[in-house]
Amino acid sequence: MKKNVIALFTLMVTFHFASTAGIVIGIVTSADDNLPIPGVSVIVKESPRIGTTTDIDGKYLLNAPQNATLVFSFVGMKTKEIMIGNQTIINATLESENLELDECIVMAVGTSRPRNQKSLKIGDKKYDAEICDELSITSQMNLYEQEDFNTEGYSTIRENGFKEAIKTPLSTFSIDVDAASYSNVRRFLNDGQKPPVDAVRIEEMINYFSYDYPQPNNGHPFAIYHELAICPWNKESLLLHIGLQGEKIKKDNLPPSNIVFLIDVSGSMDYHNKLPLLKKAFTLLVQELRDEDKVAIVVYAGSSGLVLPSTSGKEKNKILDALERLQAGGSTAGAAGLNLAYQVASENLIKDGNNRIILATDGDFNVGISSNAEMERLIEKERDKGIFISVLGFGMGNYKDDKMEIIADKGNGNYAYIDNILEAKKVLVNEFGGTLFTIAKDVKIQIEFNPAIVESYRLVGYENRLLNNEDFEDDKKDAGELGSGHTVTALYEIRLTNNSALTKNDLKYQTTQLNTLAKTGEEVATVKFRYKKPDGTTSILLEKVIPYNGSNFTDMSDNFRFSAAVASFGMILRNSEFKGSATYQSVIDLAKYAKGEDAEGYRSEFIQLVKLSEHL
């Protein structure tokens, strides 16, 4: 009888909701600058399970009852409630929250708890030492219990310093199209915490964004672009901006793909932002497959196994069903999974096609081969077969960034961190060609600076990508890959020389003689590029001369100014000794006026993150 009453009550509530519900749409913007805010939580106050989030343009759509109240919340913003009534269009403007920290270290989930906190103030509410010690701020400013420890792993970054051009005229490095660092940093900030210093790789933050460089028309798979102007964080220096634009190939013209999804289903993946998010991300990718593409699914936990044999892209439902059945549990035999994935990829190899493994994991390999060196050797042994590997990282607390970066770098692939479904859409839909299709491999850059003009220089970022000068001409030396439509950007801070620098030389056994071109010419530097075709073994050389130009920073392109804003923010997060006059406000001002078209809203989101970071 009781069950019948409950069922009848549920039916009545459902009927009432259906009879009064309607579609509500709108856009959420910031009161500070009227920019749209992506990722805002929009829920029905009376029925919290009914909700959505705003998209890249700050827009939302929700089916909600007329007599309900919508609650808009976003980290760093004041929560706002609006009664629906008879409205079908409800726009909301959110104001910045006043966050104050009073001798309290606020940590994200999975971090260790310091025991010296005294109090925490959020808005008008103040929490005592015991609560402060046990609690953390979520993206909705809720309080919840922390885990006792953090095992996230990051490679140590020792920031590049200035080098004297007369002693070290050459600077050599590998390109980097990875963007994992930016979305990982965003995850920390949205959780109310500054990221660890070694999680901030400035080149990956810069290269998260696409730039409006010209398409190649020189017979090579990429075009070269450069600008030189006054450095925004140090008026005594110049900033050299170098950009590469990969040829954008239409989806219909891309070669057929042989893809293996290598999915970690171990116990550590049993969290909402790991395997469940992973399934949604791969669902987006499956929808992009063509009939000529094929996909296999390999999973690993305590052991590895083939869940789905290689299947045509026209059988999307079959692939999606296999994904949906995945469940997490067990330990993590990552090496066994990699071996099986390479075996499956080899058995289904497409000659002149795109043969690629996509590894999705939190990187926590704890059974079998686990050291970075052993994992690196395993990847290097397999990559020469023409099978590349890309890595998608998920989760937090036990996240192993260092392992995943090695796998992608050594496997001729790229590496992204997926912190939400919008990031999955960016990587696997918007940048489908760049993520999966390589147009140039082993791309290296070498710059020779003219000591007659350049006293010293500093490469901003790329610490993990530096090469020895002799590596530039060594075709056996591995370097970065460039995907279809990808852009790569690098920045150098340059200090100009004076007359005394021309004769400065502290070397005991040699002298440096500058030739006539160096002394009388106006060349700041010569940039050299080497790359191989995706199936090639011999590199191709390109050169470009950079003339002197002391242009005003404000006269430069949006590409130049926005990349400088991102670099400035990275240096602030790292508390770099080279950040000069950079402040949160100077970053916001730079980015706001260099936002450009911003069709997907990524640059607007960056501005919001900088504002949030200033409050933490």
Q: Examine the pLDDT at 56 and tell me if it is beyond 80.
A: no
Architecture of domain 2-94 in CATH? Sandwich (2.60)
Instruction: Tell me the average pLDDT across 524-541.
Output: 93
Instruction: Tell me the average pLDDT across 210-238.
Output: 93
210-245 burial, b at 16+ Cβ within 10 Å, e below that, comes to bbebeebeeeebbbbbbbbbbbbbbeebbbbbbbbb
pTM: 0.76
What is the rounded CA–CA span in Å between residue 41 and residue 434? 30
Residue 21's pLDDT band (boundaries 50, 70, 90)?
A: low
Instruction: Tell me the average pLDDT across 432-459.
Output: 92
The residue among 335, 390, 388, 398 whose CA lies nearest residue 363 is: 398
pLDDT at 198: 94
Q: Examine the pLDDT at 3 and tell me if it is beyond 60.
A: no
Hey, where are the domains in the chain?
2-94, 99-145, 163-249+439-615, 251-436
Instruction: Tell me the average pLDDT across 366-375.
Output: 62
Identify the H or E element spanning 258: strand 257-264
The residue type found at 160 is N
pLDDT at 372: 64
pLDDT at 142: 33
Instruction: Tell me the average pLDDT across 453-470.
Output: 96
Instruction: Tell me the average pLDDT across 208-221.
Output: 92
Q: Examine the pLDDT at 104 and tell me if it is beyond 70.
A: no
In 3-state terms, what secondary structure has residue 466? strand
What is the rounded CA–CA span in Å between residue 219 and residue 247? 10
What is the rounded CA–CA span in Å between residue 569 and residue 209? 14
Is there a contact between 36 and 28 (Cβ–Cβ < 8 Å)? yes
Q: Examine the pLDDT at 123 and tell me if it is beyond 70.
A: no
Is there a contact between 447 and 171 (Cβ–Cβ < 8 Å)? yes
Q: What angle do CA 125, 31, 273 make, to 5 degrees?
A: 65
pLDDT at 8: 44
Burial of 109 (0-12, 13-18, 19+ CB in 10 A): middle
Average pLDDT of the chain to the nearest whole number: 82
Residue 519's pLDDT band (boundaries 50, 70, 90)?
A: low
Residue 507's pLDDT band (boundaries 50, 70, 90)?
A: low
Instruction: Tell me the average pLDDT across 559-583.
Output: 97
Is there a contact between 3 and 12 (Cβ–Cβ < 8 Å)? no
pLDDT at 76: 66
pLDDT at 64: 85
Q: Under CATH, domain 163-249+439-615 is a member of which superfamily?
A: Gamma-adaptin ear (GAE) domain (2.60.40.1230)
Q: Which residue has the tokens 């007369």?
A: 166
Q: Examine the pLDDT at 537 and tell me if it is beyond 60.
A: yes
pLDDT at 615: 84
Residue 133's pLDDT band (boundaries 50, 70, 90)?
A: very low
Q: Under CATH, domain 251-436 is a member of which superfamily?
A: von Willebrand factor, type A domain (3.40.50.410)
DSSP bridge partners of 459:
492
Q: Examine the pLDDT at 485 and tell me if it is beyond 50.
A: yes
Residue 6's pLDDT band (boundaries 50, 70, 90)?
A: very low
pLDDT at 116: 39
Q: Examine the pLDDT at 52 and tell me if it is beyond 70.
A: yes
Residue 370's pLDDT band (boundaries 50, 70, 90)?
A: low
Task: Indicate left, alpha or beta for 596 from its phi (over 0: left) and psi (-120 to 50: alpha).
Answer: left
Asked if 2-94 and 163-249+439-615 have one fold, the answer is yes
Residue 16's pLDDT band (boundaries 50, 70, 90)?
A: very low
292-303 burial, b at 16+ Cβ within 10 Å, e below that, comes to ebbbbbbbbbee
Q: Examine the pLDDT at 222 and tell me if it is beyond 70.
A: yes
Q: Which residue has the tokens 């634009």?
A: 245
Q: Examine the pLDDT at 108 and tell me if it is beyond 70.
A: no
Q: Examine the pLDDT at 333 and tell me if it is beyond 60.
A: yes
pLDDT at 381: 79
- The pLDDT tens digits of the residues spanning 598-611 come to 888 899 999 999 99
